[in-house]
Amino acid sequence: MPDPHDSAFYPYGGLKPAAGTSGSPPSRAASTGLAASQPIPAAGTASRCLNVTDPTLRTQADFDRLAALDDAGWDHNRHYHAFLLRHLTRDRSIALEVGCGTGAFARALARHFRRVTAIDLSPEMVRRARDLSAAVDNVEFRQADIRTFDLPPAAYDCIATLATLHHLPMEETLARLGAALRPGGVLLVLDLYRPATLVDRGWSASAAVVSTLLRAWKVRRLRPPPHVRRAWAEHARHDVYPTLAEVHSLAERLLPGASVRRHLLWRYSLVWRRRV
Ligand SMILES: C[S@@+](CC[C@H](N)C(=O)[O-])C[C@H]1O[C@@H](n2cnc3c(N)ncnc32)[C@H](O)[C@@H]1O
């Protein structure tokens, strides 16, 4: 039965690695260390660096490579932009996006906020985001790691993060992002979950069908090109997603009143408004 973990239907439309090639998923705790002495691979050498063992460097190298493959068209994250934007609150002075990739959601936020700061770990993602946003003058793209990024308390009216939280220590990151919101501000999270129950697997099977139909309609292809699928499949080997139950329980503990929703295309959203 297709799902993001045991089938050909990787959430971005790419092929998952063949069974037996990915090994056990790395633990969340193992994904936090950054060896300061290790050199950062230059953009363009990423594929040769995929045997790097430091998780942050590996993530950065992966996304430096994937940046060049983003054709700025429809994908599973962009499919939910309109849903997320429906939850913006009244105060729209300053917004932050964490893990902005090539900047599609930051540009969407820029239509609603006076100023948007969008950060990403990958220099190549930031370079492409700047290129694609030349006509937008109220977004600042910065290459930065959210774990060391200065997040002043109560500073933002909106903080958004799409398909990025699973690369981060979830609890610590949600707590920091929540504290950086102004009273009345809103946290918007979209990310992938790990199907863990029969019901999840049913949704996942339906997602595979609907995703194929949507892709055919939106980009006139049934699947992304093989080199794109291969690149995402290599990246997916190291991805670890929480189950929906884990997301619910963390949200209840850290962000009381948060709304967690399952979405068909292998994703969940978490929307939390900080009390005034
Ligand atoms: C799957 S991509 C999603 C990009 C974009 N949000 C979208 O919806 O298409 C995840 C992004 O998170 C970024 N990222 C991963 N770890 C990060 C970190 N510690 N700080 C900032 N960005 C990070 C990656 O470089 C990558 O661009």
pLDDT tens, position by position, 112-147: 999 999 999 999 999 999 999 999 999 999 999 999
Q: How far apart are the C-alpha atoms of 197 and 225, rounded to whole Å?
A: 31
How does 190-224 read in b/e, with b if 16+ C-beta sit within 10 Å?
bbbbbbbeeebbebbbebbeebbebbeeeeeeebb
Considering only CA atoms, which residue is closest to atom 10 of ligand 1?
164
Sheet-wide strand order for 181-192: 139-143, 115-120, 94-98, 156-162, 181-192, 267-273, 259-263
Under the banding of pLDDT at 50, 70 and 90, the label for residue 235 is: confident
| Contact (Cβ atoms closer than 8 angstroms) between residue 177 and residue 169 | no
Q: What is the distance in A from the centroid of ligand 1 to the CA of 12?
A: 14
Considering only CA atoms, which residue is closest to atom 20 of ligand 1?
145
Does 226 score more than 80 pLDDT? yes
Q: How many CB atoms lie within 10 A of CB 40?
A: 14
Output the pLDDT for position 19.
33
The closest of 246, 224, 245, 222 to 235, measured between CA atoms, is: 224
For the chain, the average pLDDT equals 84
- Counted residue by residue, the chain has a size of 276
Q: Choose the most confident range, by mean pLDDT, from 27-41, 154-168, 225-239.
A: 154-168
The CA-atom distances, in angstroms, between 103 and each of 42, 134, 162, 256 are 21, 11, 11, 30
The closest of 79, 114, 83 to 210, measured between CA atoms, is: 79
Output the pLDDT for position 51.
59
Q: What is the distance in A from the centroid of ligand 1 to the CA of 123?
A: 11
Choose between 227 and 160: higher pLDDT.
160
- Which residue type is seen at 268? Y
Ligand 1 and 147: CB distance under 6 A: yes
Mutate to test the pocket of ligand 1, among 105, 121, 159 (most ligand atoms within 8 A of CB): 121
Q: What is the distance in A from the centroid of ligand 1 to the CA of 135?
A: 22
Q: What is the pTM of this model?
A: 0.85
Predicted confidence (pLDDT) per residue in 208-219, tens digit: 999 999 999 999
In the chain the first and final C-alpha atoms are separated, in Å, by 45
Output the pLDDT for position 15.
34
Q: How far apart are the C-alpha atoms of 163 and 155, rounded to whole Å?
A: 23
Q: What is the distance in A from the centroid of ligand 1 to the CA of 167?
A: 8
Q: Which two tokens stand for residue 220?
A: 């006139």
Under the banding of pLDDT at 50, 70 and 90, the label for residue 3 is: very low
Instruction: State the closest ligand 1 atom to the C-alpha of 70, by its place in the atom list counted from 1.
Output: 9
Q: Is 95 helix (H, G, I), strand (E, B) or coil?
A: strand
Predicted confidence (pLDDT) per residue in 29-75, tens digit: 333 322 333 333 333 344 444 456 788 998 999 899 899 888 768 99
The closest of 78, 88, 143 to 111, measured between CA atoms, is: 88
Q: What is the distance in A from the centroid of ligand 1 to the CA of 267?
A: 15
Output the pLDDT for position 63.
93
Q: How far apart are the C-alpha atoms of 150 and 27, rounded to whole Å?
A: 26
Output the pLDDT for position 10.
45
> By percentage, how much of the chain surpasses pLDDT 70?
81
Instruction: State the closest ligand 1 atom to the C-alpha of 60, by its place in the atom list counted from 1.
Output: 25
Q: What is the distance in A from the centroid of ligand 1 to the CA of 60?
A: 9
The class of domain 78-193+244-273 in CATH terms is alpha beta
Output the pLDDT for position 44.
38
Ligand 1 and 79: CB distance under 6 A: no
Choose between 71 and 194: higher pLDDT.
194
